[in-house]
Amino acid sequence: MRIISLVTAIAVVSILYVLVFERDVLKGFSSGKNIEELAGDLGDGPELNTEASVALSKIKKSEKTISVVVVKSTAKTIDSAVILRGETAAARSVEVRSETSGQVVNEPLRKGKTISQGQILCSLDPGTRQASLADAVAGLAEARARVPETRAKLDEAKARLTEAKINFNAATKLSEGGYASETRVASAKAAVRAAEAGIASATAGFDTTRSKIQSAEASVAIAKKEIDRISLKAPFAGILETDTAELGTLLQPGALCAKIIQLNPIKFVGFAPETELNRIVKGSAATAKIINGKEIQGKVTFISRSADQTTRTFRVEIEADNADLLISKGQTSEILIASDGTQAHLLPQSALTLNDDGALGVRTVDEASKVEFFETDIIRDTVKGVWLKGLPEETNVIIIGQEYVTDGVKVQQVFQEVKN
């Protein structure tokens, strides 16, 4: 047992020595260097045993070349849709609230009920509103009845002023000829001033009457508006999200009567990253898939120009027909927005690998049979493979063995046909 432990310890020490002190040699061996070069690099390391010497002598006879399986891939133009994750949203949503106080006098409508535009949701007790309207109408009629009287007074005052001016002119001319006294002229002048004051008074009375008419009309309008407010109606057709207020409930201004949502058309809301924003155009065709597999066709109606401060994404809305109301608010959806075509390669997902920096890509073989790494972006994932962009138009891609080689290593290619 001691001999076995000693041999094991020697083997472990040798391996650790190579890993720690001869890493460059080990890396060169994996990249296909000649054994003579490696022997020179080893320097004054531990003596190789007889079996190792025999193995190295066999390796000297031929240069080491790693075989890899490659496929010849040619880029194709595909419709590169922008894919977003999102949810459904109502096209319109509103909370119908009371503008006045009153007790609900109608039976409630239950949530989920389809309603039409203008349908009454909550009816309030009218109270004395009808009496207030009748009083306002009577006040308006009284104000309008005074219009002929005030207008007649104004016309009378104007006639008196005309008469006074004629008398004053006549007295003035007679006085100039010595046929009238100064007293008569002064009396005629005073009559003109009195007539002018009468016109001013009649005009003020007429203006007061018109003001009363306007005030009465405002009172009538207020009374009618107050009566309109006791009937809370649906502003648009939709579905009740809540029950309407219960019979007998006292609603105050601002109190909730019901909440309505409109699901036709339906909206799909997603959030696009900054890198995809320029590929989305308002009016573009879009396809939305909900969790039950149903696909709905629509178009982009809104693209936000303000990014979310937390996620740095931009809100995108798609509008689609939902006449059968089978799609509800808040369902998870996948949104595909049509974009310009792009050149891409269809390759097996197993061909993907990571380089030393952690970048995702594939390894290819150039004309000199040396390995080269290309960082790629995944455009679309399908059952046949993944569509990748970032590669040359034609290239030989390693699909088996890419994890055992590095850039610059010379390899032997074994071609395999890929069925797309």
pLDDT 10s digits, 226-239: 999 999 999 999 99
Sorted by where each begins, the domain ranges of the chain are 2-63, 69-80+342-415, 93-123+231-256, 129-228, 265-335
Average pLDDT over residues 117-143: 90
Provide φ and ψ at 279, rounded to 5°: -90, -5
Provide φ and ψ at 113, rounded to 5°: -75, 140
Secondary structure of the chain: what % helix, strand, coil (to 5)? 35, 35, 30
What is the third-level CATH fold of 129-228? Helix Hairpins (1.10.287)
d(CA 300, CA 315): 11
d(CA 58, CA 313): 61
Residue % of the chain over a pLDDT of 70 = 83
- CB of 93 closer than 8 Å to CB of 235: no
Exposed / middle / buried, residue 343 (Cβ in 10 Å: 0-12, 13-18, 19+): middle
- CB of 268 closer than 8 Å to CB of 329: no
Look up the CATH architecture of domain 93-123+231-256: Beta Barrel (2.40)
Lowest mean pLDDT among 77-81, 135-139, 336-340: 77-81
pLDDT 10s digits, 269-328: 999 998 888 888 898 889 999 888 888 999 999 999 999 888 899 999 999 999 888 888
pLDDT 10s digits, 15-72: 666 555 555 555 555 555 554 454 454 444 444 444 445 444 544 444 567 889 999 9
pLDDT 10s digits, 363-386: 999 988 999 999 998 877 788 888
Closest CA to 239 of 123, 94, 104: 94
* Residue 246's pLDDT band (cuts 50, 70, 90): very high
d(CA 288, CA 300): 11
d(CA 262, CA 239): 6
pLDDT of residue 1: 47
Average pLDDT over residues 259-265: 93
pLDDT of residue 116: 93
pLDDT of residue 163: 79
Closest CA to 143 of 62, 46, 218: 218
- Tokens found for residue 130: 């009808």
pLDDT of residue 418: 63
pLDDT 10s digits, 381-419: 788 888 898 899 899 999 998 888 888 889 988 888 766
pLDDT 10s digits, 194-227: 777 878 888 888 888 888 888 888 999 999 999 9
Q: What predicted TM-score, i.e. pTM, was given to this entire model?
A: 0.56
From first CA to last CA, the distance across the chain in angstroms is 59
Closest CA to 387 of 339, 337, 335, 352: 352
Best CATH choice for the domain 265-335 from the list 3.40.50.920, 1.10.3130.10, 2.40.30.170, 3.20.20.70: 2.40.30.170
d(CA 32, CA 411): 9
What is the third-level CATH fold of 69-80+342-415? 2.40.420
Say which residues have a Cβ less than 8 Å from residue 283's Cβ, sequence separation at least 6: 299, 300
Average pLDDT over residues 245-250: 92
- Tokens found for residue 216: 């009465």
